[in-house]
Amino acid sequence: MSGSTPFYQKHHRHYDRGYRSKELESAVSQYQSSSSSSYAARRSSSRASASAALSASSGHVIALHERTTPVPCSYTRLSSSYSDLEESRLSPMPKRAKPTYLAMDKENQIIGYVVPIFRGSHEYASGFSDTEEARVKESAGYMARRNLFTSGLEMERTEQTSRKVSMRESAERISLSKRIYENEEHHKRMNKDSLMHAPEFVIKPRSHTVWEKQCVRLHCTVSGWPDPRVVWYKNNVTIDPMAHPGKYKLESSYNVHSLEISRCDFDDTAQYRVSAMNSKGELSSFASIVVKRFKGEVEEALPMPRPRSTDNEDGLISEYGITFDTHIVDGFGVSFGREGETMSLGATVIISPNLARYQPEVQWYRDDVLLQPSKWCHMHWSGDKAMLTLTHLNKEDEGLYTLRITTKSKYETYSAYVFVRDADAEVEGAPGAPLDVKCQDANKDYVIVTWKQPAVDGGSSILGYFVDRCEVGTTHWSQCNDTPIKFARFPVTGLVEGRSYTFRVRAVNKSGMSRPSRVSEVVAAMDPADRARMRGTSAPWTGQIIVTEEEPAEGVVPGRPKELEVTEATKNYVVLSWKPPGERGHEGIMYYVEKCVSGTDSWQRVNTEIPVKSPRFALFDLAEGKAYSFRVRCCNSAGVGEPSEATEATTVGDKLDIPSAPGRVVPTRNTDTSVVVSWEASRDAKELVGYYIEASIVGSNKFEPCNNKPVKGTRFICHGLVTGESYVFRVKALNAAGLSECSQQSEAIEVKAAIASPTPPYGISVLECVRDSMVLAWKQPTFIGGADITGYFVDYREVINGVPGTWHEANVKAVSDRAYRVSDLKENRKYQFQVRAANMAGVGIPSLPSGTFVCEEWTIAVPGPPHDLQVTEVRANTLVLLYKPPVYQGRDPVNGFYIDIKEADAEEEAWRGVNEKAVLTNYMKIKSLKEGETYVFRVRAQNKAGVGKASEPTEPVLAKTKPGTTEIVVDVDDDGVISMNFACSNLTPDSKFVWSKNYEEITDDTRISVATSGEKSKATFNMPAEDDIGIYSCAVTHTDGACSSYTLSAEELKKLLELSHDHKFPIIPLKTELAVELQEKGRIRFWLQAEKISANGKIEYVFNDNSLSQGEKYKMNFNKDTGVIEMIMESLLPEDEGTFTFQLQDGKATNQSSLVLIGDVFKGLQKESAFMRKEWHRKQGPHFVEYLSYEVTPECCVILKCKVGNIKKETVALWYKDGREVKGDEKLTFTEGVLKLEIAQISKKDAGVYEIVLKDDRGQDTSTLNLTEQGFRDLMNEVFSNIANSSTALKIQSTDEGIRLYSFVSYYNEALQVTWHHKDAAIAFTDRIKSGVVGEQLWLQITEPTEKDKGKYAIEFHDGKGGLKRTVELSGQAFDDAYAEFQRLKAAAIAERNRARVAGGLPDVVTIQELKALNLTCNISGEPLPEVVWLKNEREIVSDGHYVMKFEAGKYASFTITTVNTTDSGKYSILVKNKYGTESADFTVSVFSPDSKK
């Protein structure tokens, strides 16, 4: 937008150029520079034209504004467009110019010039007195001059012309205007289309951001020919003011069009479009309105206002860079006053930070209508206190008063109701004064006065009302009607045009006259058009004087009046309305009214003497029930015109019926001094004004009004009632015709503690979302209204492009849970939700709209958030958290919950877990809290996929035990009845005790019965059992969280049952129950011990229900000091099988204890008794103290041994195996008393049955040990176990064949079973892998090992039990070393095996006779074939005829001396060698001759 300023700013009473910002001043300066040249040319042309017209001036008339009635001059408006006007105001004016202002009619026809009001400065004020100057300053002309011509003020001060010169110049311009007008008329007739053009927005509407409940106005200026038709749209929907009465107001004046929106709410946030259209085209312009909520609560879907300071995170506009926090304290309460009194309402306002001289905006409202300072109400602000003083109370002052303190950061409100009762009547029994006297449809000599009937009729019906009037400036009241009228509307005629009046109304009944009402506002008797001009509703430039030449005109008889109609008809009067005729000349007209009885043709003039000036007239004194027609004639000095069209026949009578009685009246509790009364509206009521509510104490039959000002709703809070009294109520409806019959009386209600509709829920969140539905959760209202919430209602609306739509109901029937699935949504659309809570008092106001949620299906694997978190049983260090599982389970079912905790004022990072392991229950007791600390909690659910999103956190909870907190007390009465008891001292009348098990309310009384009396409640177990184990809690509703819990565990239940039994059946306590034991010789002792029993105690011994007595078989004893009771029997016979009982009685206390000896128990005891008796007899001679057994020594030697007793020198011990005697110890060792038989290197042949007999002259005893089959196997297993335990660790040994693993044992038995393992698998032996035993060595041979043979090896010894393993790791370095050693040994073995060697055959010495032949042969081995060399005396012998050496078949070497001689004697050697080695064999040859031998 250019530097031009909108018209509605320029004409604002606070506007001044000094208010412009630096940016605006810069823009204006640029604009002025760019337009200076064109402006100067235009001003020069205007000055020349004005000079040429001076000689043509003639008579002139000065007129203010444009008039609606014809006068002898022309009335015009400015023809220059707004853009031209802006140019002229902003352009520089270096010289004083004489501008020409064209005056044009509504068809844009130039009809003259507009001469400005003379503008004199303070320095040049001749001809004006002080009072005249003040009057001029107050006039509309002065205001317009100041607003429109401020830019030319300095130039005007330099102008030194007189008023006479200004008028002469005006006359000259009038002459010029006529010529211009005639010239333009000629051109219009010649080329009409040249003036037509499409609409154009000179000034476009601008966007606004406003506060909630404020009004906003959109302006625009449109040019175009023909005049464009302008239509306003909201979100592309046509705005119809008739469809929303009072909401929208459309105005169009002088091409300035406006849309006014009253009391904006969030639904008014939208895009608005104004469309201008004529025959040449259509053009639209757009503007947006954003409605903000105070306290920073702006809907997410709405555009956020742009903050002025980046420090303000809430987006609120701070003032002077500061965000103010406002609190209203010490407010005013519901107040009661009486007419004529003075009342003051006040409240203390705390604004922080406290800045000196800072003034917030302080506003007072009555019934949402802003109050203005007047003689009736005075407002005062002292810096910290706001006061409203009602100087003279009247019933009009009754209503809801609201104090609103507004800063640019936020606003705060405080409201209370003020009731005004009637003043005492001047005449006893007279009715109350009427109220709300208003004047409507005021005209030159006529006005309609309306009022509202009073609630008090004085005990008799009101006969009617008198209307009084008083001319302003006088104190005389004159009565307007001679007879009282019952209709609450009356037309007053006979007013003097131009004078102002006030009105009042009085009611009358048979007892007398009421006090007069409060006087009405001042109303002037004048033409509505004149009144509009005085109010400034005409064109914005109305302060200019329009001067035209007066043209003489002949008298013209006026035409027919138009649109005559009957606007109101009662039995007292009929009101006619019409429009003036089009042909009426230039002088004023008046009217004659005529009437005619229907069915006749006789017209009678009603106002013969005085014609009326207004196009309105009221006819009185008509015959009720007759039908009349009416017509009107116009008249002026030229004569009386033709009559108008006659109206249709109108029957005299009331057309508006008294409303029907309201429907059913329902009272509900509100506070201890008020009751909310609601009722059904009157059916088919027309022009309903409101309702009066009356109350009566039951039995008094005297009704008093609850309100003295009609209320328009169907719900009202009646204050000032007596606490504890019972009241009935009734309602009356009223309109202008009168008051209805009373409704039927309501049911009686006692005035006591408040029950109100709940406050809004909050914390709306999404629990699950699928393609067409969403599950919502919310938190319970902070105040439930004093009654249990009966359900919730959910609304939703779609948000499109950030603009929310219309709310729709999601559920018709209330839902009791705080979660609900909203269905029939559209996928991928955005929605907002709101929730309302309901109780018996009604449905509360809706919550704030939720955030904007997208309806798209959740596919996450983890579960959604839990919901409905509740904190209960708050103590100093513990509390209980309740929650509900998530609606969205995720991929798998929920299998646990995690609880998080943090301090309320801590950061988000401070959240920490309470439980490390997930809990399965929907509740958890949280311990170890710090007393006095405030905490918040949240819950997360988990499934197999993981942990899901956390729930919404709880409200902050203070860890503190409240005063008066009590706990559940468990009691067992004398009858043994177990009960849980809970008491609460701060009950309310609606409080209830609610018992729960595992935090689910107990509704089934089969196991628990609940009884409540006063402040105590008892939950009694009917039949305590394991099914009753759990956590029991009791909560008291409508209290400050009174609750407690008790955990009944299995151990606790057991204790309670025992205690119950003890109380029900008093018993003698026993230290021990009846028991049995065996004594020496096998005697049987039955006994028990009583914990406490007096000397008078009695015992009865019973066997199988038969009493036993002292005798030979039964020996009985009762030690009263120790409480031991016993009965002894020598033996048990078959007939003694049964139940033995000791019955005790000590006064009233009894007890008994029984012991059942039957079946195997009896037989075992009988057998043991007989054995003990036999053993006693056995032990009288030599006997075995320890019977025969065996022991395996570490050397695996088996020793059979036994221990004997009561032996002497003559005692003999004999050993037997399989019945054959074997040699044992030759001499017994009496000191040790142990006999042994040793078996070395046991084998299968040693299996058998071993027996030892011990005997002397006193008798004998035998002990047997069976070492066959299993017995022998057990023995051998123990031997094997000893062998295994003696084994050494496995060792690794390398051989020339491979690697050997071995272990040594201390003793090896061929029956020992051993298993070799490789890599934990049993080895299957092959030719390459073998095992064996050498002496005490157990080995495993791995021939030619490979990489596959690496790994862990183990030898397992089997002993019939767990066995034993020895392991070794043959891998890594161990394998490498063993393998390298194997290769070395293998190579050495190969070399040893293949090296050259002399196997034998050569003697050490050979003695041979000379001349004989010597032949020696030896075996030679080696691979490769060895080389054979024969040596004699260390010298090699070469084969020749004497020595013959042969090497045949690679293994036989022979040495032959063909003829031996003495020289052949010597040391001979054979040397064999190959690549693996060398070996030699030596022999000596001794040759002798026969002769020498001899």
Q: In what order do the strands lie in the sheet with 1364-1370?
A: 1321-1322, 1313-1318, 1351-1358, 1364-1370
Residue 555 scores a pLDDT above 80: no
Structure confidence by residue, pLDDT tens digits, 798-825? 999 888 999 999 998 999 989 999 999 9
Phi, psi angle pair for 1280, to nearest 5°: -60, -35
Highest mean pLDDT out of 179-188, 514-523, 1232-1241, 1420-1429: 514-523
What lies within 8 Å, CB to CB, of 1196 at 6+ separation is 1241, 1242, 1279, 1282, 1283, 1286, 1306, 1307, 1309
Highest mean pLDDT out of 156-160, 674-678, 1192-1196: 674-678
Structure confidence by residue, pLDDT tens digits, 556-570? 888 888 888 888 888
- The region of weakest confidence among 5-9, 322-326, 1114-1118, 1373-1377 is 5-9
Residue 718 scores a pLDDT above 90: yes
Residue 95 scores a pLDDT above 60: no
Residue 403 scores a pLDDT above 70: yes
What is the number of other CB atoms lying within 10 angstroms of the CB of residue 1003?
7
pLDDT at 78: 31
Task: Return d(Cα 554, Cα 585) in angstroms, integer.
Answer: 8
pLDDT at 194: 54
Q: Among 515, 520, 463, which residue's Cα sits nearest to residue 492? A: 520
Highest mean pLDDT out of 167-181, 906-920, 1189-1203: 906-920
Decide the pairing of beta strands 896-903 and 281-292.
unpaired
Tell me the pLDDT band of 190, cut-offs 50, 70 and 90.
low
What is the total residue count of the chain?
A: 1494
Looking at this protein, which amino acid is placed at residue 1476?
Answer: Y
What is the number of other CB atoms lying within 10 angstroms of the CB of residue 764?
21
Q: Among 161, 60, 176, which residue's Cα sits nearest to residue 118? A: 161
Structure confidence by residue, pLDDT tens digits, 976-1005? 899 999 999 888 777 899 999 999 999 888
Decide the pairing of beta strands 650-651 and 627-636.
antiparallel
Q: In what order do the strands lie in the sheet with 923-926?
A: 867-872, 879-884, 923-926
Structure confidence by residue, pLDDT tens digits, 888-916? 999 899 999 999 999 998 999 999 999 99
pLDDT at 103: 47
Tell me the pLDDT band of 1492, cut-offs 50, 70 and 90.
low
What lies within 8 Å, CB to CB, of 1240 at 6+ separation is 1197, 1198
Structure confidence by residue, pLDDT tens digits, 315-370? 344 454 577 788 888 888 899 999 999 999 999 988 887 777 778 889 999 998 99
What is the secondary structure of 636-680 as a DSSP string?
Answer: ETTEE----PPPPPEE-S--SPPPPPP--EEEEEEETTEEEEEEP
Residue 1014 scores a pLDDT above 70: yes
pLDDT at 133: 45
Structure confidence by residue, pLDDT tens digits, 1338-1352? 899 998 898 888 899
Higher pLDDT among residues 1277 and 196, named by residue: 1277
Residue 1080 scores a pLDDT above 50: yes
Tell me the pLDDT band of 1381, cut-offs 50, 70 and 90.
confident
Decide the pairing of beta strands 281-292 and 208-211.
parallel
DSSP state of 73: B
The stretch 26-55 carries a mean pLDDT of 42
Is the N-terminal amide bond of 659 cis, ω within 30° of 0?
no
969-985 burial, b if ≥16 CB within 10 A, otherwise e?
ebebeeebbbbbbbbbe
pLDDT at 531: 67
User: What percent of the chain stands above pLDDT 90?
Assistant: 31
Tell me the pLDDT band of 842, cut-offs 50, 70 and 90.
confident
Task: Return d(Cα 241, Cα 261) in angstroms, integer.
Answer: 10
Q: Between vectors from CA 426 to CA 421 and to CA 427, what angle results, nearest 5°?
A: 110
Looking at this protein, which amino acid is placed at residue 823?
Answer: S
Task: Return d(Cα 125, Cα 640) in angstroms, integer.
Answer: 49
pLDDT at 1017: 94
- Tell me the two tokens of residue 588: 């004023």
Tell me how far CA of residue 1238 lies from CA of 1212, 1217, 1246, in angstroms: 19, 13, 11
Tell me the pLDDT band of 586, cut-offs 50, 70 and 90.
low
Task: Return d(Cα 1274, Cα 1276) in angstroms, integer.
Answer: 5
User: What percent of the chain stands above pLDDT 70?
Assistant: 83
Q: Among 1243, 1249, 1252, 1251, which residue's Cα sits nearest to residue 1268? A: 1249
The stretch 1073-1088 carries a mean pLDDT of 90
Residue 235 scores a pLDDT above 90: no
Average pLDDT, the chain: 81
